[in-house]
């Protein structure tokens, strides 16, 4: 079940972080980069975030979430995270589909991920996202930006 998360509440922020940290540790290994900013997040960072958080529950357990910011013409996906124990169960797809369904006609959706994060890039491309750019963040480390119109 997908539902909004009240990330300003400490208990919810803690649940988010308990999913985010192990998932981003795996991504860091996959892409060979330990500088992912979300690895440094704290409960407080989550609680004060201006992002909109939406979670996927397996019964009463939060197993994944997506966060994004909305402006007039843009939905910017900030995080799409699934706990490693729940990889490959369609959770990321369900969360991404949720965002695609709330998109208004005059909006587009953008997302960035490590250029070496092939599973994430393939997921976004499967939903119709197109690569628009590779940006070098640090020497020899690139992120790929994708867009959905």
Q: How far apart are the first and last CA of the chain?
A: 26
CA geometry: angle at 8 spanning 14 and 19, to 5°?
30
Q: Residue 36 has what pLDDT?
A: 87
The range of the structural domain enclosing residue 53 comes to 2-148
Give 19-55 pLDDT, tens digit per residue.
999 999 999 998 888 888 898 999 999 999 999 999 9
- Report residue 77: phi and psi, to 5°: -75, 120
Give 68-119 pLDDT, tens digit per residue.
999 989 999 999 999 999 999 999 999 999 999 999 988 999 999 999 999 9
Domains of the chain: total: 1
- What CATH number corresponds to the domain at position 110? 3.40.630.30
Residue 88's Cβ-count burial label (10 Å; 0-12, 13-18, 19+) is exposed
State the pTM of this model. 0.94
* Strands 108-114, 130-138: pairing kind: unpaired
């Amino acid at each position: 079940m997908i539902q909004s998360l009240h990330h300003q509440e400490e208990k919810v922020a803690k649940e988010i972080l308990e999913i985010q940290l192990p998932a981003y540790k795996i991504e860091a290994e996959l892409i060979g980069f330990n500088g992912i900013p979300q690895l440094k997040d704290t409960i407080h960072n989550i609680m004060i975030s201006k992002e909109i958080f939406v979670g996927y529950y397996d019964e009463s357990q939060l197993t994944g979430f997506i966060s994004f910011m909305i402006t007039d013409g843009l939905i910017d996906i900030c995080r799409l995270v699934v706990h490693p124990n729940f990889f490959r169960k369609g959770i990321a797809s369900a969360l991404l589909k949720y965002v695609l369904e709330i998109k208004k006609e005059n909006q587009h959706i953008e997302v960035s991920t490590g250029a070496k994060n092939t599973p994430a890039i393939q997921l976004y491309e499967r939903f119709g996202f197109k690569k628009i750019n590779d940006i070098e963040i640090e020497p020899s480390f690139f992120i790929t930006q994708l867009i959905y119109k």
